[in-house]
Amino acid sequence: MFAAAEDGRLQSSIGTLFPHHDLLVTWPPMHALQREVFKEWFTGECRRLGKQPPKPSKLEWEAAESVDLIFNVGDLVLIRPEVERLDLAFSAGDKLREQWRVPCHRIRFLSVRDPRVRQALRERGELWRISAPPTEHEEISEAIAHSRVAIGEGSIYYYNPHTGTRYVTCAEFAQLAQLEDEALARQLDEIAQHCVKRNRHGHPEVAFVGVDALRFGGPNFAELAFLELPPAALRARHAILIRQFREATEPAVQVDTPKERGWQLRMFSAISAEQQGERAQDDLQGLGPEFAPRVRWLPGGSFEEGEFLFAQVFSSQEGEPEDPELKGLWDPLTRGFIINFIREYGNIEYLNLGRIEAEPGVHSGRGRRGVFLAEIKVRGERDPRVLFLRVLRWGIRERLEERDDLGTAKDLVRVIFETEEYVDYTLDRRLGCLQFGMHLPTRVNMRRVTEAYCGSREEFAGHHFPVMYFERDYFAGVATNKLPERKLAEPRYALALARLLGKAAAPNIVVGRCRDAVSVDASGETVFDDGDEIIVEAPDGLPRDLVLVDHSGAFADWRTTALLAFAKSYAAPVNRRVEKVPDPKAFAEAYLSAFRDEFARLQSDYQRRRGAFDGLFKHLPYDERGSFACRWAHVLRRLGNADLEALIREIRKHITVLSQSGLE
């Protein structure tokens, strides 16, 4: 199935599987022609068994009961399902796994933008089998190179596995002039035959990259008997077609430049779009745009008659798979998450679990950064639940790797107590943020799973330790730093956003949200407007609310005595949008006005109900080295002593569109 030629390309890049007959046809390299091969085979089988030759209608029906396959150089088998016959597609997947011994992790599905296909995979707990498009430069370049296919002559086509269309570029078409006369005639005849045909999915068998279809296409090749033309006439006709092709083609793709990013993206759009003109990077799972491109769906399992069957990746061993292909699909916490879901929700129809990969270039710092997304459909409920899971940053595993002040490894009892204290600290931070009016998700539960220790402490090898994580409902919306520029360019949208940002900035500066640990005389990097703030839009499309979905970093900077030190950081949300909003000055003033109103409310609330604030964490130990009770007291003192108008002036001074206008 994956036999390769001398140049490294697969001898056959496509196949047609007939599940009812346990038959796989891989030649010739067109699905329509492979079905013709099947018809000949089926007719011969009927004769061999002494049966009457099948009627044409029976023959067509048998041929239609087939599934298109695409073989990838990475040993993947891509199934292109008929959306009306998804049972055939899943049957083909079973046959590939059972009869042709194709590992399940190498069998993927195309056409996943069709909601029927996506829903069928979702209900089988198999979103992980979606064949997601590559995103990195090298991956895209490799995908384009590996898409080169032939029909019967040269490998001049770029194949789109979603539609089955083979694309010819203008430059590749012009290069045909280098062929010998007979080879040129055969190649042009092949293009002429197939550019007027459509496959059973309704897509062209052959099309042309970047052309205006009204100016160049099948009609240009109509009634041209290339095989009968004398050499001179053949060359002249080819030259005319080259000129017509070039005149109808976008300038950016008239010349093949595989190393240029623009050409790459245009070509990749052609070979990866599922419908003509469709963008290749559309959301696949219906998630918010801040997460969808980064979700790596993981094998979990499926429910059969109420019993949960784990995917094969879990069946062979408990630890990490040795197969490098499986390592990216495996996570040590997956099994524990799934078991917790079954324990809590009981009667589950299906579930899908994904890991949210870190964005390239985002500072991760120390500690664990495990973030997961789960979709669970409980029987009897109309819609599935979508849950967000975040693993505790400093757990037992991480603390066992630490040393105390004397350089001595920490003992297990101390590590366990420190971990429990950190859990309480994390929950206390959430309570403190809520006390200041920060808009956080309403429900957060602490859960735990177990994990085999795999650190440097040999004495704990083979031991299993609990891993704590927090579970909340997934909050749909768009992160403030991912809002599309077209929305920021709308005046009403921009002003509504400015007010929400200003209102959220006030409690954020009070609690000292910072990314890094801080010393006595230095503040860390401020955390605000960097992906944790989610905008919820009203039915009219305007921003209605801002929710802080992750309060990490809150109370990290509690030593800085004056909030003026943070002024520059809180001018940044305005400065980074001055080129994107229609009226930067109005945006800045709306931001500052909302900041002033919310900060004044916080100060007034604290002054009126000082006892409620001061006494909230009185029951906790107070330690000047940084216990939460200590941090809380310092933050309250800083809030009470803050000069609001001086703070506003200092932030204004760092906002470029205002300071440059002499308004500081």
DSSP string, 447-475: EEEEEE--SS-GGGTT-EEEEEEEEEE--
Confidence of residue 74 (pLDDT cuts 50, 70, 90): low
Q: What is the pLDDT of residue 9?
A: 55
Q: Is the pLDDT of residue 279 over 50?
A: no
> What is the distance of C-alpha 362 from the center of its chain?
16
Percent of residues, the chain, with pLDDT higher than 90:
66
d(CA 114, CA 658): 49
Q: What is the pLDDT of residue 314?
A: 66
User: Can you list the pairs that 115-121 forms with residues at least 24 positions away whose Cβ atoms lie under 8 Å?
Assistant: 116/83, 116/86, 117/81, 117/83, 117/86, 118/284, 118/285, 118/286, 120/86, 120/90
Q: Is the pLDDT of residue 11 over 80?
A: no
Cβ pair 371, 356 in contact under 8 A: yes
* Listed range (247-251, 286-290, 315-319) with the worst mean pLDDT: 286-290
C-beta atoms surrounding 433 within 10 Å? 21
Q: Is the pLDDT of residue 407 over 90?
A: no
Average pLDDT of 222-228? 92
Q: What is the pLDDT of residue 223?
A: 86
pLDDT digits over 452-490, tens only? Answer: 998 899 999 989 999 999 999 988 788 999 899 999 999
Average pLDDT of 28-39? 93
Please give the residue that has the higher pLDDT: either 516 or 434: 434
Among 281, 302, 276, 128, CA closest to 209: 276
Tokens 């299993």 sit at which residue? Answer: 464
Say if strands 107-109 and 77-80 run parallel, antiparallel, or are unpaired.
Answer: parallel
Q: What is the pLDDT of residue 508?
A: 97
Cβ pair 574, 515 in contact under 8 A: no
d(CA 638, CA 437): 17
Please give the residue that has the higher pLDDT: either 523 or 68: 68
d(CA 201, CA 538): 39
Confidence of residue 369 (pLDDT cuts 50, 70, 90): confident
Q: Is the pLDDT of residue 663 over 80?
A: no
d(CA 447, CA 478): 27
3-state SS assignment for residue 152: coil
Average pLDDT of 369-393? 92
Average pLDDT of 333-338? 93
Confidence of residue 2 (pLDDT cuts 50, 70, 90): low
Please, what is the end-to-end C-alpha distance for the chain in angstroms? 71
3-state SS assignment for residue 303: strand
Q: What is the pLDDT of residue 58?
A: 94
Cβ pair 110, 131 in contact under 8 A: yes
Q: Is the pLDDT of residue 316 over 80?
A: no
Confidence of residue 243 (pLDDT cuts 50, 70, 90): very high
Confidence of residue 661 (pLDDT cuts 50, 70, 90): low
Beta bridge partners of 546: 535
Q: What is the pLDDT of residue 507?
A: 97
Cβ pair 82, 31 in contact under 8 A: no
Cβ pair 448, 362 in contact under 8 A: no
Tokens 């079973």 sit at which residue? Answer: 94
Average pLDDT of 518-540? 78
Average pLDDT, the chain: 88
Q: Is the pLDDT of residue 5 over 60?
A: no
- The type of residue at 389 is L
Average pLDDT of 85-101? 93
Beta bridge partners of 24: 17
Q: What is the pLDDT of residue 322?
A: 73
| Residue 310 CB burial class (10 angstroms; 0-12, 13-18, ≥19) | middle
From residue 539, alpha-carbon distances to 54, 492, 536, 544 in Å are 59, 14, 10, 9
d(CA 112, CA 129): 10
> What is the distance of C-alpha 218 from the center of its chain?
38
Q: What is the pLDDT of residue 283?
A: 43
Tokens of 574: 């305005």
C-beta atoms surrounding 633 within 10 Å? 18
Q: Is the pLDDT of residue 528 over 70?
A: yes
d(CA 523, CA 512): 9
Average pLDDT of 216-228? 93
Q: Is the pLDDT of residue 542 over 70?
A: yes
Strands (E), 313-410: 348-356, 371-378, 385-391
Confidence of residue 43 (pLDDT cuts 50, 70, 90): very high
Q: Is the pLDDT of residue 273 over 50?
A: yes
Q: Is the pLDDT of residue 421 over 50?
A: yes
Q: What is the pLDDT of residue 288?
A: 55
Say if strands 23-25 and 14-18 run parallel, antiparallel, or are unpaired.
Answer: antiparallel
> What is the distance of C-alpha 50 from the center of its chain?
55
Q: What is the pLDDT of residue 277?
A: 44
Tokens 């500081």 sit at which residue? Answer: 664
Q: What is the pLDDT of residue 29?
A: 86
Q: Is the pLDDT of residue 249 over 60?
A: yes
Confidence of residue 625 (pLDDT cuts 50, 70, 90): very high
- The type of residue at 121 is L
d(CA 298, CA 327): 11
Q: Is the pLDDT of residue 149 over 80?
A: yes
| Residue 538 CB burial class (10 angstroms; 0-12, 13-18, ≥19) | exposed
C-beta atoms surrounding 443 within 10 Å? 9
Confidence of residue 12 (pLDDT cuts 50, 70, 90): confident
C-beta atoms surrounding 277 within 10 Å? 6
What contacts 11, CB < 8 A, 6 or more positions away? 3, 4, 5
Q: Which helix (H) or strand (E) holds 86?
A: helix 86-98
Confidence of residue 365 (pLDDT cuts 50, 70, 90): low
Among 642, 529, 542, 513, CA closest to 575: 529
pTM score of the predicted model:
0.78
Q: Greatest CA span in the chain, whole angstroms?
A: 100
Average pLDDT of 351-366? 72
Q: What is the pLDDT of residue 515?
A: 82
Q: What is the pLDDT of residue 518?
A: 41
Beta bridge partners of 508: none
Q: What is the pLDDT of residue 282?
A: 38
- Give the CA count within 13 Å in the CB-facing half-sphere of 185: 12
